[in-house]
Amino acid sequence: MANAPASGAGDVQDTPLLVLRNVTRTFGSVTALADVSLDVRAGEILGLVGDNGAGKSTIIKIISGMFPQTSGDVLFEGQPRRWISPQQALAAGIETVYQDVGLAATLSITANIFLGREIVRPGLLGRMGFLDNRAMTQVAQADTAKTGIRLPHLETSVGNLSGGQRQAITIARSMSWARKLLILDEPTNHLGVHEVEELLRLVRHVRDQGVAVVLISHTLAHVMAITDRILVLRLGQVVAEHVTRETTTAAVVNDIVGASEAEIARSLNE
């Protein structure tokens, strides 16, 4: 489960890992994404920001295979892809920490970490699907230790854990498995200060392994602290792109909200 470096560690690649070209997604009469184009490179952290309803989660779900785009192209490693199930994206090396999908509450921590990717016993028993719980427990122990987050015994049902602990497990799971692209949708919502620092450190570590990272967050402080580029979405369209090092929080907020500071001040005074 080690992260396979896509290139020399720390280098941002020139050929993008993932490209969205003129992607549109409609649900009935609702247009969630209109003509969106973006790219993500290996070894970079891309931030996606925008207000509620801007289309961030929709982009994530298209990339992770939950549903395909209505029109437009998605290219992964140069090949056009049209994923209709998360299985396909996972097989391609894309890991996603969803905001709203969560964990299986009645299953244990170990079971959740290995969900969909269970380790089976060797030989005939394994071909029939019999699980190797000991192996999974050992690996799960190592993974969760890495996150630095305190967890009770690994057989505990995830439903008994706090929101922060659950989030930590989801993140630990995806980080361990991510080979090419890691997507994090609002990963810091339930985390305390210390835990957030741990998370950001881990994200940088993953990036340093050559994995591309896409980060969605409402907390601009985190976005400014860790990303290389920021894309701003508004009402289903990409309205701005910022290079993090060269921009300010205020400028990003402007683009999210869609009005300059002056305009806002003027409308308040009227």
Partner 1 sequence: MSSSSAVAGQGGAAWLARRPLVKQQLMLLLGLVIIVGAFEILNVGFLSADNVSSILQDSTETILLAFGETLVIITGGIDISVGATLGLSGILGSLVLVNVNQGGAGLGAFPSLLLGVLAALAVGFVIGLANGLMVTKAKVTPFIATLAMLGVATGLTFVLTNGVDVSGMSPSIATWGNHVFLGILTLPILVTAILGILVGLFLHCARFGRWTFAIGSNARAARGAGIPVQRHLLKIYVLAGLLSAVSGVLVFMRLGTGSPLEGANDELNAIAAVVIGGASLFGGTGTILGSLLGALIIGVIVNGLIVAGIQPYWQTVIIGVIIAVAVMMQERGRARD
Q: Is 106 in the site for partner 1 (CB under 8 A)?
A: yes
Q: What are residue 182's DSSP bridge partners?
A: 95, 213
Which listed range, 26-34, 100-108, 220-228, 256-264, lies at the site for partner 1 (CB under 8 A)? 100-108
Count interface residues toward partner 1 (CB under 8 A): 36
What is the spatial distance between Cα 66 and Cα 185, in angstroms, rounded to a whole number? Answer: 14
Residue 115 or 225 with smaller CB distance to partner 1: 115
Q: Is 150 in the site for partner 1 (CB under 8 A)?
A: no
Q: Is 118 in the site for partner 1 (CB under 8 A)?
A: yes
Q: What is the DSSP letter of 69?
A: -
Residue 165 or 254 with smaller CB distance to partner 1: 165
Under a CB-based contact definition with an 8 Å cutoff, are residues 73 and 39 in contact?
Answer: no
Q: Is 8 in the site for partner 1 (CB under 8 A)?
A: no
Q: Is 99 in the site for partner 1 (CB under 8 A)?
A: no
Q: How far is the CB of 171 from partner 1 (least distance, A)?
A: 14
Q: Is 130 in the site for partner 1 (CB under 8 A)?
A: yes
Q: Is 96 in the site for partner 1 (CB under 8 A)?
A: yes
From residue 42 to residue 71, the character string flagging contacts with partner 1 as x (rule: CB under 8 A) and all else as - is ----------------------x-x-----
Could you tell me how far CA 121 lies from the centroid of its own chain?
Answer: 31
Q: From its phi and psi, is residue 58 left (phi > 0), alpha (psi between -120 and 50) or beta?
A: alpha
55, 72, 86, 93: which one binds partner 1 (CB under 8 A): 86
Contacts of 190 (CB under 8 A, 6+ apart): 162, 163, 164, 166, 167
